[in-house]
A and B are shown apart, each in its own frame.
Chain A
């Protein structure tokens, strides 16, 4: 595992960009860019990342970047990869499709599933801030149960969909879950993905102070807390082999005890007003997934 002081120093995400103060996406994107060493072309749909990227004619990211329509990310990435091959540049650049959770698991899932079924040669990275943030915090398929959004005023009733598992079902060579609260984990997984071919899927949890309702100073702390209480599980599935990674692996090694979800929930205004029963339901959902992950980790698949 790469240590912080071993991360490349060069920055490709420039200061003075348009993301909110304390945005987890900024932290994650920096680590992603470091792992790609600039040898990549991004394609990005409508999202907070578009905003971070900046408005014509100035951009805040020093990497080739092709904006695309909201549902089209994976297919545009497939096209860029094919176009680079056709023009003799296939080996030069990694194609990175990078979209939000809505752009991935909801409106973009058709294109993503098609690209995964064809095992197209690209990295697809979903940054998951658990709602449609760019349009004002509406619920997405990734919004956790209980969370208030501008379309779930009393809290979302449904559990989030498990997009990494959907991707695993496509049997692509690499599926990994990471968190921007752990930049080195992001870096290592992107670096590994970069060394592979075919469709590589990364799911990066990114905390969002504006949409979740918390003090931006706590952005990393909350991202870590999500892992420590099992709401986010860090793992990778490489050619079918499952293993927990990073902090989740450490938790498993230490006996598998998680922090209760209460503290994590209490820190965010989107979870205000959850009653004991609702919290217990969330805890049960977490425990079930964590037990399953521990079993898979032990089995290695």
Chain B
């Protein structure tokens, strides 16, 4: 183990390197580009025995990963923002084809208008595609999570998206413990044989048209239709709840570092209001909660590490007896609510003693999220919670409309 000063992007690249990725295909986009620049430099220098394929689009980046993963290789790519949106068709394909691809997403806003800075609209927009989505709080977690992601992906035959905030983490350097290759090898065996069979002696047609009904195969066995395959996919994703948690535990046993399993929690004891978020905001909220606790205000933090599958049970358990959960989303389902807030509300619906869920949108397009604004939002949530308010409109944290209009 060595400690290096690494940016989030470098941490992601190190994770892929330690996982001994075999095929990397990527296309540049801010703020992800340094991930693939770093990997391509290692490949060209002979430090990483992988193929680096400089494709002509993100759609092709995921397509190459799909092809290589089908052939049994361990594959990696990274993207952000419009790059992720552009590969959306293949995001769905990779998941439906049950390929254990790992992709880093340096979270960034989506155009129009152009904006290269952080929010989480990009990965949130593909939350329904059937990938496992893990969020990182800091650069150490990025490295650790990329390695874990391969274990999870290859156990379940599901792709994993490792998300971290653009610039806030991607371009911020901090000390990161880089495990030895031996330590990672002990944790992460080579990729097992894929489900997909490419063998002229036993030719298969992989991913063909599947009808709505069931149909017999050549041997007379009745096989499921499209819906049965989708149900199997959903069940695999739900079983990821256990696998993600177990994998984090095993990682902690082997490295001594906790990355959190499904959720990370901070000062939940007797909390009246719990602040909920994903990504680097969780680290910020931890400091805000500490400040409020110092002032005698009982505030805790619940960080969502695993956003898909959504850790319903873990959230219900951690939030029971709390007056209100205030969710900070760096994304918005336009015309409705922040995605995490909406999901949490649904997860808690009808649960006895469940808190009110308030939604706040912050940080869109890199708008600075200050401790003061977070503190104010927490205090106003507390006041509303004590007044028994159950429903609130989405609060815009850090929006400057008044100053702008003046």
Contact = CB atoms under 8 A, between A and B. Distances in A.
B207 A75 contact: no
A74 B73 CA distance: 18
B217 to A, nearest CB: 4
B217 A57 contact: yes
Counting chain B residues whose Cβ lies within 8 A of the other chain, the interface size class is: 35 or more
Contact of A85 (B51, B74, B89, B206): B51
Contacts of A81: 67
Interface in A47-70: 50-51, 53-59, 61-69
Given A57-B215, A83-B72, A76 B66 contact: yes
A58 B67 contact: no
Contacts of A74: 60
B208 A55 contact: yes
Interface stretch (B141-149, B193-201, B315-323): B193-201
Contact of B203 (A65, A67, A111): A65
Contacts, number: 180
Contacts of A300: none
Place the interface of chain A in its size category: 35 or more
Contact of B198 (A50, A55, A64, A77): A64
Contacts of A79: 23, 25, 53, 63-71, 75
A59 B90 contact: no
Interface string A76-116: 11111111111101000100000000000000001101100
B57 interface: yes
A55 B210 contact: yes
A65 B67 contact: no
Nearest to A12: B203
- The majority secondary structure among interface residues of chain A is mixed
Nearest to A114: B56
Highest count of chain A CB atoms <10 Å: which of B56, B196, B218: B56
Nearest to A51: B209
A65 B56 contact: no
B396 interface: no
A66 B89 contact: no
Contact of A50 (B70, B71, B74, B209): B209
Given A66-B67, A66-B206, A78-B53, A87 B200 contact: no
8 contacts: A54-B209, A58-B218, A66-B196, A79-B64, A79-B70, A79-B71, A83-B72, A86-B51
**9 nearest A-B residue pairs (beta carbon):** A79-B67, A83-B71, A114-B56, A83-B68, A75-B63, A59-B205, A75-B60, A79-B64, A86-B22
Given A65-B208, A110-B60, 16 more contacts: A38-B200, A50-B209, A57-B221, A64-B206, A66-B206, A69-B63, A72-B59, A72-B60, A72-B89, A79-B23, A79-B66, A83-B69, A83-B71, A87-B73, A110-B59, A111-B57
